[in-house]
Amino acid sequence: MPPTLSYITATKNKLPYFKQGIERLIAHKKPDEEILVADGASTDGTPEYLAELKAAGKIDWFVSEPDFAESHALNKLFLAARGEVIKIINDDDAYYFPTIEACKKFMLEHPEIDFMGTEGGSFKHETPERQVIRKVAGYEQNFRKWKSDHTPFEFAVLGLMFRRSSLPVLGFWDLSFKNADAEYTFRSTAGPAKLAWCLNPSFVFIRTKEGVTMNNLKRMREEALRLRKFYLGENPPSPLLIAVKRPFRNMREMMSARKSEVLRKAPGSASDTRGESWAELYQEGEQWLIEQNRGKEFEFLS
């Protein structure tokens, strides 16, 4: 029988982070689930590590070859997945698997639902010693508005779960966008696909220097404005307002980057012991997710 759930992960040259997440995923994998990984021809030992995992029967499928960034890798994984539902697991973020399990159960029991989102959290600061987890806000309100008048909205794909048979309706990832989350979720919620929402958080987004977001901030902001104009009819901020705000934003980002670099070079810091320091961040994220879900029933909107 085909698996009920396919976990899919795209990665490239982030082995210290990837190991933290894949080990947790393997530990939580159920017998009726599969794990698939698309690696973009990493040069940091990731292909060899994946081959070891596959040989040991810990993952079910992987490919390591050049790609056109994360969206291309995710499209490959969509095509390779065999599960009734598909769950993206980022290679450098924390997840709460009991929520994912509850979402899987809901999707299997409600075949009319094409895809599902969840609440989550994120680390506000990149500097490890100043990490502050904040709850991602507004998704529930946006879902309720979408349910009422079908207003498209943007949300983090870290909480997404897809029905494999609904991919012809949902579509694949658009490689022309760096802000793939915004493009995919706006497009999906603007179409005929049926969405459900889980009010329990399932993820914590952890910023990394190597991540797509941190390396493409300007382009992602511009794309987000274009998408909001196209789907919501919103006009972008005036050039004058942007010009006034930009120096302050650039200064904050520069100071944060400099402080992070100092910490990485300081004696005893994790310059190339990223896996060790990242393990602590994963633990902080996981603990936050445990506390947010403690004593609460899983609640769904559809």
Half-sphere exposure of 108 (CA within 13 A, CB side): 14
Residue at 144: amino acid letter: R
Higher pLDDT, 136 or 239: 136
pLDDT (tens digit, 9 = 90+) per residue, 157-167?
999 999 999 99
Lowest mean pLDDT among 79-83, 126-130, 164-168, 202-206: 126-130
- Contact (Cβ atoms closer than 8 angstroms) between residue 283 and residue 276: no
- Asked if the model's pLDDT at residue 66 lies above 80, the reply is yes
What per-residue confidence (pLDDT) applies to 290?
96
Neighbouring-strand partners of residue 7: 35, 87
Query: What are the sequence ranges of the domains in the chain?
Result: 92-301
* Share of residues in the chain with pLDDT > 70 (%): 81
Distances (CA, A) of 264 to 132, 133, 157, 273: 19, 21, 29, 9
User: Given pLDDT bands bounded at 50, 70 and 90, which one contains residue 134?
Assistant: confident
Find tokens 């609460």 and name the residue: 296
pLDDT > 50? residue 265: no
Which range is least confidently modeled, 62-71, 103-112, 226-235, 259-268? 259-268
Tokens of 200: 């329990």
> What is the pLDDT at residue 251?
52
**pLDDT given for residue 263 in this prediction:** 35
Q: How far from chain centre, in Å, is Cα 148?
A: 27
pLDDT-based confidence at residue 214 (cuts at 50, 70, 90): low
Task: Show the DSSP H helices in 150-195 as ranges.
Answer: 167-170, 180-190
pLDDT at 124: 66
Cβ partners under 8 Å of residue 139, min gap 6: 117, 119, 153, 155, 197
Q: What is the pTM of this model?
A: 0.85
